[in-house]
Amino acid sequence: MSEVDFKSHLNTLIESKMEKDKNLWEESERHWKEIIDRTFLFDRIETEVAALRKLAKQELITFFNRHIRIGAPKRKVLSV
């Protein structure tokens, strides 16, 4: 994947995360999930977007090679 494609996908992900809640129900569900999970990160979206803005393609490749790739030294099972 080229650097341009990577940035395009990253920007699309950021845009989808920054999308406003469509109604009050969605917003309250998001907040209640934080309360039920006892994480209380009500600014989770802003924090994730800030981290995504700093993400470089090479960092993602390095993470993949260390943690996900078959035969990686610190391989963990990834379930999506």
| pLDDT, tens digit, 9 for 90 and up, residues 29-55 | 999 999 999 999 999 999 999 999 999
Binned at pLDDT 50, 70 and 90, residue 19 comes out as very high
Assess contact for 68 and 76: CB atoms under 8 A.
yes
- Residues 6 or more apart whose Cβ sits within 8 Å of residue 51: none
Domain map (residue ranges) of the chain: 3-55
Full-model pTM? 0.78
